[in-house]
Amino acid sequence: MEIGEALKITRKKLNLSQSEMAGDVLTKSYYSKIERGIHEINAQDLIDILNLHGIRIQDFFEEFNFEKNTFGKSNFDNLHRLVGNAYYQKDTDGLLKVIDAIDKFPNSQNNRLARGLRVEAKLLYQGLKYGPEKIDDETIKEVKQLMFNSDNWDELSLNLLSISIPVLKIEELNSIIGSLISKKAPSATSIRAKEIISSILINFLDKAYKSSFLKGKSITLAFKWLEQVDPSLKNYCFLKIYTNYYHALLSGEKNKTQRIREFLDDNGMEDLTRYLAR
């Protein structure tokens, strides 16, 4: 169940109008679009609305067929969405509120999903607040421990690797990428895992170029993996563009990289070219 739908059910149980439910947290118009699934709600606003009506976030999740008094997969999925929203909106307070919500689950200290999501939110918070270079060693150590606490690179490990690329040294990342690709062939990987791995490999190639790490087995394997990904991925088109761009960049084909940037700019995608290495 989507969070907007759960909010609507909760509001009706409380016999409140949309304006009353939103209070002074959101406008009635914006809140209405959240209930209808047009907009997503960020972590800070969700928790503020629930607090306004005396509802604990863990009780809110448990109400809708989520695990009773435990942190399970359903809780992870919903809170992970809030973490992503908070990060992209640069909402550091929202990230702190998600961390606080995770801590209130009775089993959060001994639950790998809860610990993984908590350290993910913590790393993103520190990165936004202080910059990637100032993320503390304890957080990086915990990320690595949880990342490697799975022999098969599950979704949690992949998520942690994805967000930790800025703080890992290129030599260390090179070794990790080699291990990942050796265990995760595109043909034997779920759609969701393919999407995460594709993003990881593009970011790895970007960091390799910026670090003047232009050759290596992992770079060759990364391109080979990306070239085998099937068109079923929702971001397949952009994935192919990025793959071709970084292949040209690492090969020194400046004219080709310029043509790709011009193509993106001419089609109204200047925001994408802004973050491409040059």
- Range of 77's domain? 1-151
Question: 16 and 130: one domain?
Answer: yes
pLDDT tens digit sequence for 84-121 = 888 888 889 889 988 988 887 777 888 888 999 999 99
132 within some domain: yes
CA Rg value for the chain? 21
- Give dist(CA 204, CA 196) in Å, integer: 12
Q: 62 pLDDT exceeds 70?
A: no
Question: 16 and 113: one domain?
Answer: yes
Question: 201 and 136: one domain?
Answer: no
Question: 200 and 273: one domain?
Answer: yes
Q: 187 pLDDT exceeds 90?
A: no
pLDDT tens digit sequence for 98-108 = 898 888 777 78
168 within some domain: no
The amino acid at 220: T
Q: Which of 62-76, 82-96, 120-134, 197-211 has the lowest mean pLDDT?
A: 62-76
- Give dist(CA 178, CA 219) in Å, integer: 9
The amino acid at 206: D
**Residue 74, pLDDT score:** 72
pLDDT tens digit sequence for 127-181 = 999 998 899 999 999 998 888 876 678 888 999 999 999 889 999 999 999 888 8
What is the total count of domains within the chain? 2
pTM score of the predicted model: 0.75
Q: 271 pLDDT exceeds 90?
A: no
Question: 68 and 25: one domain?
Answer: yes
Question: 141 and 262: one domain?
Answer: no
Question: 197 and 138: one domain?
Answer: no
- Give dist(CA 137, CA 54) in Å, integer: 37
- Give dist(CA 114, CA 220) in Å, integer: 35
Q: What is the DSSP track for 22-79?
A: HTTTS-HHHHHHHHTTSSPPPHHHHHHHHHHTT--HHHHHHHTTPPTTS--HHHHHHH
